[in-house]
Chain A
Amino acid sequence: MKILVVDDDKETADYVAQGLTEAGHVVDKALTGKEGLFLAAGETYDMIVLDRMLPGLDGIGILRTIRTAGVGTPVLMLTTRGGVADRVSGLDAGADDYLVKPFAFAELMARVNALARRPPVSGEATVLRVADLEMDLIRRTVVRAGQRIELQPREFRLLEYLMRHADEVVTRTMLLEAVWDFHFDPQTNVVETHISRLRGKIDRGFGAELIQTVRGAGYVIRAPV
């Protein structure tokens, strides 16, 4: 992908750019709001990683401008403030996701991937499939290898999120936000416990494990190779 990174902190910009480059992306950096807006409006990117607080023209301003100009590129906004009001104003301005600094690079990577592969809103699949695991979103049923699996509602939502992002790493924080709507970090290992139960139901006794733990990053559901 071709990604634009706008951040006035050179070290953060370099760090993000380097990580994304190592992951095989082509990255442009902009260290000021003006430069960022110039690049975002002039070039075609697959993704923009935009710092919210920039001297002069800030992230919200850039976002509004390019959205008004009809640029629909997915935007991941970075911020040092994680309050609800900040999150809402960022999303209102047209951001697709929001990440609070400081963050683990794995978190940024996972969110960039999730945004990039976000399926179009129309024509959504009603059945999700990973290897021999099948989820029917209308009948709310889960079947593995022809065998019906009973899930609690929360487990169903967890599995649905994983399957919608099959082959992508999703982080603990992403799951907390998407499945529980928790925008804070409980000390309890809520995600781990639920993943463990989910594994007990869909993986145990079926040979190949579909849900895999990615050390230091999160989880991924993928067909075994």
Chain B
Amino acid sequence: MGLLVAPIRTSAGRAGLLHAGLTLLASLAILGTVYVVTTVYERRAAQDGIATEARSLVMTEAEGGLAALARQINSHVASDPAGSTVYLLLDRDRRVLAGNVAPGAPTTGWQTLVLDRGEHAGDTALGLGVALPGGALLLIGRPQGQLEELEETIMRAILIAGAVAVLLSILGGVLLGRSVQRRAAGMNAALAAVAEGDLARRLPARARGDEFDALAGAVNATLARLQAALARLNQVTGDIAHDLRTPLARMRQRLERAARGAATGQVPREVVDRAVGDIDEVLRVFAALLRIAQIESGERRASFAEVDLSAALADVVDALAPTAEDAGRSFPVAITPGLRLRGDRELLQQAFVNLIENAFRHTPAQAEVRVTLAREGDAIVGSVTDRGVGIPPADRERVLRPFVRLDESRSTPGTGLGLALVRAVADLHGAELTLANHAPGLSVRLRFPVQGRSRSGGIT
């Protein structure tokens, strides 16, 4: 019972059983067809033989009369003592003229005869009755023993072949099930190792490229992405801890000093104010992190609306221009009016604010910062270009990550999250963010594909 039930529990076992069952059905169908076709063919061949002989005997009668026919039959009977063909010739009054079988109830047409002599006595024979001119009747028959024997032989062959087919199909099913089970077990083991924490473990995949390999490949790709994401998360967690330690440590020192002051009744207002300032810095980092997380979750895509990017950017420039002007900075702006896209106005504005503020912060006060927005083919491209020292090519991908601040900029204020937010906003809008050298300086470009015209898909 267990042997039968066990394989049904696994899908591999079920597949094996199904395979065996189907193979069995197919073999039965083939063998059955062979049986039917062969027996029908043999029966027809026997009938043809009888009919041919009947025709030849009828011819004899036509040439030499009943007497010649009777002679011919008698000579056939004499030369065939075994009685492998039976004859019977009756005259108009149904008297026997010749033959080697007892007259039953002979008629014309195909009929079954019962043999009463010879080695086939007791068997039946396939007979054909032919009416001769003048009312005589000729019967020719052949025992069906041969035919039955043949049918038996074929049936035996079918049973043997069927049995072999059943055995082979069960064997095949079991082997197939085993192989499926083995591969599934391999995958299970690998995934169990991953679940235990071994994120570098991958599913076994062979080069053959069957569906198991495809599945393993897909799972492995997912695992690789997960591993990378976790590594990034680890990195960011470390960075957060590191970046927050500094203001927290400062705050602790200040509060300790304040506590000493409290003992003597003297807490300078400035100490408390600075501690509040430190806390604000920590809170700003958290706010920026939360915002990036919220953007990356994609939940804001639900509130996307048509945005006049030209107007939105013009407002940003309008807000920041006086600061540039006060610093004596050249701040040329070229915005093509009326450029629209689907997006989140607030986030787009914040992204441009961050880019422009970055340029302000990392270049000398009087260095030029140029802002442009224009249509380029099937995209809207915004750019912020400065004439500062630029970013070395090797660092360009790195600065888009949270908390990455190049050593040169460690001394300037900022959370190190500005560009990470820009990147998150770009990703949310399916935009391409590129940093390029401007010799000297840096050019940051945001390229938004515009829907409708020849938009190349696959941008997420």
A102-B283, A184-B350 known; A83-B319 Cβ under 8 A? no
| Contact status B287-A188, CB under 8 Å | no
B421 to chain A, nearest CB (A): 9
Closest to A86 in B: B294
Chain B residue numbers with a CB within 8 Å of A81 are 290
CB distance from B319 to the nearest CB of A (A): 5
Q: Are A188 and B300 in contact (CB under 8 A)?
A: no
Q: Is the CB of B303 within 8 A of A85?
A: yes
B211 at interface (Cβ–Cβ under 8 A)?
no
- Verify B322–A185 contact, CB threshold 8 A: no
B360 close to A (CB within 8 Å):
yes
Contact A82 B287, beta carbon cutoff 8 Å: yes
Contact of A186 with B by CB under 8 A: yes
Q: Which residues of chain B are within 8 angstroms of A197 by Cβ–Cβ distance?
A: 322
CB nearest to B414 among chain A residues: A187
Mark out the residues of chain A between 202 and 225 whose CB falls within 8 Å of any chain B CB in the assembled complex. 216
Beyond A180-B319, A185-B284, A187-B414, whether A83 also contacts B357 by CB under 8 A is no
Partner of B346, one of A84, A102, A154, A193: A84
With A187-B413, A190-B320 known as contacts, the answer to whether A83 contacts B300 (CB < 8 A) is: yes
Cα A188 to Cα B414 with chains together (Å)? 11
Q: Is B93 an interface residue (CB 8 A)?
A: no
Does any Cβ of A come within 8 Å of B302's Cβ?
A: yes
Do A184 and B291 touch across chains, with their CB atoms under 8 A apart?
A: yes
B349 touches A (CB below 8 Å):
yes
Residues of chain B lying within 8 A (CB to CB) of residue A84: 300, 303, 344, 346
**Chain A hits for B291, CB < 8 A:** 82, 184
Q: How far is the CB of A19 from chain B (nearest CB, A)?
A: 15
Are A85 and B300 within 8 A (Cβ)?
yes
| List of B residues within 8 angstroms of A182 by Cβ | 319, 346, 349-350, 353
Given contacts A180-B319, A187-B413, A187-B414, contact A193 B287 (CB under 8 A): no
Nearest CB of chain B from residue A165's CB, rounded to whole Å: 20
Q: Tell me if B318 is interfacial: C-beta within 8 Å of chain A.
A: yes
Tell me which residues across on chain B come within 8 A of A181, comparing CB atoms. 315
- A122 within 8 Å of B (CB atoms): no
Q: Which residues of B contact A185 (CB under 8 A)?
A: 284, 287
Chain A residue contacts of B290, Cβ below 8 A: 81-82
Is A183 on the interface with B (CB-CB < 8 A)? yes
Question: In B265-284, which residues have CB < 8 Å from any A CB?
Answer: 273, 283-284
CB contact list, A108-164 vs B, under 8 A: 154
**B283, B353, B357, B361 interface centre (most CB from chain A within 10 Å):** B353
Whole-angstrom CA separation of A126 from B272 in the bound complex: 44
Residue B397 at the chain A interface, CB threshold 8 Å: no
Q: Tell me what chain B mostly uses at the interface: helix, strand, loop, or mixed.
A: helix
Q: Chain B nearest CB: distance from A6 CB in Å?
A: 23
Q: Mark A73-96, 1 if CB is under 8 A from B, else 0.
A: 000000001111100100000000
| A186 B319 Cβ-Cβ under 8 A | yes
Chain B hits for A25, CB < 8 A: none
Residues of A within 8 A of B63 (CB): none
B146 interfacial by beta-carbon distance below 8 Å = no
Q: How far is the CB of B224 from chain A (nearest CB, A)?
A: 31
Closest to B320 in A: A188
In this assembly, does A10 line the interface, its C-beta being within 8 Å of a C-beta of chain B?
Answer: no
In the assembled complex, how far is the CB of residue A186 from the closest CB belonging to chain B, in whole angstroms? 5
B303, A188: Cβ atoms under 8 Å? no
Q: How far is the CA of A85 from the CA of B303 in the complex (A)?
A: 8
A197 to B322, CA, bound (A): 8
In the complex, the answer to whether A190 meets B346 with C-beta atoms within 8 Å is no
Q: Which of A82, A83, A188 contacts B360 (CB 8 A)?
A: A188
B318 touches A154 (CB 8 A): yes
Q: Tell whether, in the assembled complex, residue B302 and residue A193 are in contact, meaning their CB atoms are under 8 Å apart.
A: no
A189, B318: Cβ atoms closer than 8 Å? no
A194 in complex: contacting residue of B299, B322, B344, B360, CB < 8 Å: B322
- Is the Cβ of A188 less than 8 Å from the Cβ of B315? no
Chain B residues in 8 Å Cβ range of A83: 294, 299-300
Are B302 and A85 neighbours in the complex by a CB distance under 8 Å? yes
Distance between Cα atoms of A187 and B303 in the complex (Å): 26
The answer to the question of B75 belonging to the interface, with a C-beta cut-off of 8 Å to chain A, is no
Is B222 interfacial (CB-CB < 8 Å)? no
C-alpha spacing A56/B353, complex, angstroms: 40
Cα of A136 to Cα of B303 in the assembled complex, Å: 37
| B188 interface contact, C-beta 8 A | no
Q: Is the CB of B357 within 8 A of A187?
A: yes
Of the candidates A88, A180, A186, A194, the one whose C-beta lies within 8 Å of that of B357 is A186
Contacts of A188 in B (CB 8 A): 319-320, 323, 353, 357, 360
Report the minimum CB–CB distance from B308 to chain A (whole Å): 13
- CB closest residue in chain A, given B321: A193
Q: A85-B300, A154-B318 are in contact. Are A193 and B414 (CB under 8 A)?
A: no
CA–CA, A104 and B244, complex, Å: 20
Bound-state Cα–Cα, A187 to B415, Å: 10
Ranked nearest first, the 7 interchain pairs of A and B with the lowest CB-CB distance are A193-B322, A184-B350, A190-B319, A193-B323, A186-B353, A188-B323, A187-B357
Partner-A contacts on B (CB < 8 A)? 273, 283-284, 287, 290-291, 294, 299-300, 302-303, 315, 318-320, 322-323, 326, 344, 346, 349-350, 353, 357, 360-361, 413-414, 418
17 A-B residue pairs with CB within 8 Å: A81-B290, A85-B299, A85-B300, A85-B302, A85-B303, A88-B303, A102-B283, A181-B315, A185-B284, A185-B287, A186-B353, A186-B357, A188-B319, A190-B323, A193-B326, A194-B319, A194-B322
The chain A residues found within 8 Å of chain B, CB to CB, are 81-85, 88, 102, 154, 180-190, 193-194, 197, 216
Question: Known pairs A102-B283, A182-B349. 17 more at Cβ < 8 A?
Answer: A81-B290, A83-B294, A83-B299, A85-B300, A85-B303, A88-B303, A154-B318, A182-B353, A184-B350, A185-B284, A185-B287, A186-B357, A187-B418, A188-B353, A190-B319, A193-B322, A194-B322
